[in-house]
Amino acid sequence: MAVTGVILVGFVIGHLVGNLQIFDHPDKINGYAQFLHQTGPLLWVARIGLLVSVILHVWSATVLTIENRKARGVTPTGKHWIKASLASRYIRWTGYVVLAFIIYHLLHFTLGVTNPADFKDGHSYVMREAYSVAGFPVVAAGTEVDNVYLMVYRGFESAPVAIFYIIAVGLLSFHLLHGMDSLFQTIGWRSQTWAGRLRKVVALICLLYFLGNFAIPGAILTGALKPHPDAQVHAPVSAQN
């Protein structure tokens, strides 16, 4: 469970860093998405690895819960907590919500099932400048790519969707609060001398993670983030031809 937790924590933080590019020029997040698509088989290897990690994480959580109940002789209705943090008490329930959020997130932004008009409506984007990674250009200027900037912006213009995302990432951050703290203990990287400081660092990371995820739908929903003119928010390519 700790090993899959490390993999998933690394992914969600990296995912957030990539998504925060929406506050920059549309070239950034659109180029970033195109770069990921260009990795081809490697992208699918990563996706399958993440899927396997989620499945193993849920499976190990279920097994550990059953084993703990058997060892303690506690029925599902009998709760006996001793020095348990609030995050650890509800780690299982926040996990269920996070799992539901992951499924919805994939249907929303990856498969476009929940918003087909925004996902496949003829909108595309022509890169104004090249997109670079570590100083190396990976997407050339003039390349026609998917308008991910537009898709994200339109998705979070819906108040119910934006509010759901904010609540879900809040619970995910709460889930990480206990998960990140306990995984250090599981793999033997936490000692009595610095356990308190480690817990504060984990809490700070979780807070920053929540604020970063909150900023995107919050800024779009409130109008603090205006659509960039270059994104052609109301100009489908098909309408220009």
- pLDDT for 89: 57
Digit-coded pLDDT (tens) for 21-40? 999 999 999 999 999 999 98
Percentage, residues of the chain above pLDDT 90: 34
Integer Cα distance of 154 and 233 in angstroms: 9
Mean pLDDT, range 222-229, rounded to an integer = 91
Digit-coded pLDDT (tens) for 51-79? 899 899 888 888 887 887 777 765 555 55
- pLDDT for 107: 76
Integer Cα distance of 174 and 88 in angstroms: 9
Q: Cβ distance 127 to 142 under 8 Å?
A: yes
Digit-coded pLDDT (tens) for 101-145? 788 777 777 766 766 666 554 478 999 999 999 889 999 999 999
- pLDDT for 116: 65
Q: What are phi and psi of 190, to 5 degrees?
A: -120, 130
pTM of the predicted protein model: 0.79
Q: How far apart are the first and last CA of the chain?
A: 53
- pLDDT for 81: 46
Question: Token pair for residue 154?
Answer: 């339109």
Assign residue 25 a region: left if phi > 0, alpha if psi is -120 to 50, beta otherwise?
beta
Domain parsing of the chain, residue ranges: 2-240
Burial 178-201 (b: 16+ CB within 10 A, else e): bbbbbbbeeeeebeeeeeeebbee
